[in-house]
Amino acid sequence: MTQPAVTHDAREETRARISAAALDLFTAHGFEQVTTDEIADVAGISRRTFFRHVSSKADAVWGDFDAHVVRLEAMLAAAATDQPVLASICAAYVEVNDYAEADLPMLRQRMRLILTEPALQGHSQVRHAGIDRVVAAHVARRTGVTAGALVPRLVATSTRAAATTAFEVWLADGRITLAAALHEAFAELAAGFPSLSSGAVPG
């Protein structure tokens, strides 16, 4: 007897429940103290279902991060060719991180864990590699070099560092919006890449 297919919406809803349960438990008790069984129990699912949707409790912290990377890649691909490179990256970062007011408490929980939990640092490097890949590819397209060349790689890691700093400032300062922090961080960074911020292509 065949089982009914699980819809994309149902998978997203289950993963969202797992993420919400994990974030609440980690915030209340600490990342190391919480087990996957406890997360599954709070999410109202079985241990088997938990591992069908996320690979580990560290993975549960990030939510659907792969979709986040795909959105960023699509926004960069759609950027106007006459828009300065750094401006296009900043605009994409701001748009992909444009959260509804109701989603901000969970975002704060997630980012505090990602930025402060030592056990998540190795996992973060793997996740950030996806961001670096799509940003480097965008810079490579615009500058006519390979994605592995110095400038695309440097821009990818530098813009990610700027975005991370903006998140840190947003978390620490309740008066600034995330969008404002991102814009300010990229404005400061732009002065370090004059050939990109002006829209010129390096020779």
3-class SS at 109? helix
Report the distance separating Cα 109 and Cα 125, nearest Å: 19
Report the distance separating Cα 53 and Cα 16, nearest Å: 10
Q: Where in the chain is the domain with CATH 1.10.10.60?
A: 8-61
Interval 23-81: pLDDT, tens: 999 999 999 999 999 999 999 999 999 999 999 999 999 888 888 999 999 999 999 99
Predicted model pTM: 0.84
Contact 61, 113 (CB under 8 A): yes
Rg (CA), the chain: 19
Q: Could you give the dihedral angle defined by the CA atoms of residues 46, 47, 52 and 55, in that order, rounded to the nearest 10 degrees?
A: 150
Report the distance separating Cα 71 and Cα 99, nearest Å: 13
Interval 3-15: pLDDT, tens: 444 465 788 899 9
Q: Where in the chain is the domain with CATH 1.10.357.10?
A: 64-197
CATH number, domain 64-197: 1.10.357.10
Tokens read off for 54: 């996320």
Q: Could you give the dihedral angle defined by the CA atoms of residues 139, 160, 114 and 179, in that order, rounded to the nearest 10 degrees?
A: -110
Contact 58, 113 (CB under 8 A): no
144 falls in which pLDDT band (50, 70, 90)? very high
Report the distance separating Cα 94 and Cα 184, nearest Å: 11
The superfamily in CATH containing domain 8-61 is: Homeodomain-like (1.10.10.60)
